[in-house]
Structure 1
Amino acid sequence: MTVALMWEARAADGRGADLLAWARAQELPARPLRRETFRAPQDRVLVVTWWEARYDAVLPELPEPPGELVTRTVHRWRFESLGAD
């Protein structure tokens, strides 16, 4: 089964580039099948990692960024892939 982990944070005012650079620099202790980074309005940064694992497996995730980079705690979601169309 393929599991996707989503990590989303919103940058503090004027810190979007810093948050994006921080997220890209984070190394995970294991290599996912795929890792992709996105940005959106309001200086939001989204990182999605794909893993070959059970849905409830313990998987490495990006940590909370330094408090001065964000306006709130990170939002995290876990999804089971149902395949590509």
Structure 2
Amino acid sequence: MWEARAAQGRGAELLEWARAQVLAREPVRRELFRAPQDRVLVLTWWEAEGFDAELPELPEPDAELITRPVHRWRFESIEQESVE
């Protein structure tokens, strides 16, 4: 998971920046989200073993595009539930 907060009024620009990033290899799935306060979230799903797996990461945007360093977390899927 990759999350950043854009500089004031630059949320759309940060979203487009994140959308345009090309990773060294393609994830199984990639989703982009936006949230209040010009936040952008990118979730990627990978076929990998463990938290220490070597995976490509989205880089840091230019400093003037964001208000603080990017936050990154890795999660492991434990359970999946279908809701009908």
Larger Rg computed on CA atoms: 2
Partner of 1:57: 53
Which AA in structure 1 matches 2:4?
A: A
Tell me, in whole angstroms, the C-alpha distance in 2 between the residues paired with 1:67 and 1:34. Answer: 27
Q: Using CA pairs below 8 Å that are at least 6 residues apart, which structure has the higher relative contact order? A: 1
**Alignment pair present for 1:20 and 2:6:** no
Which structure is higher in strand share?
1
Q: Find the residue that maps to 1:65 and give its secondary structure.
A: coil
- Unaligned 5+ residue runs, structure 2? none
Quote the sequence identity (%): 74
TM-score when normalising by structure 2: 0.92
TM-score, structure 1 as length reference: 0.91
* CA root-mean-square deviation: 0.6
How far did 1:30 drift? Answer: 0.4
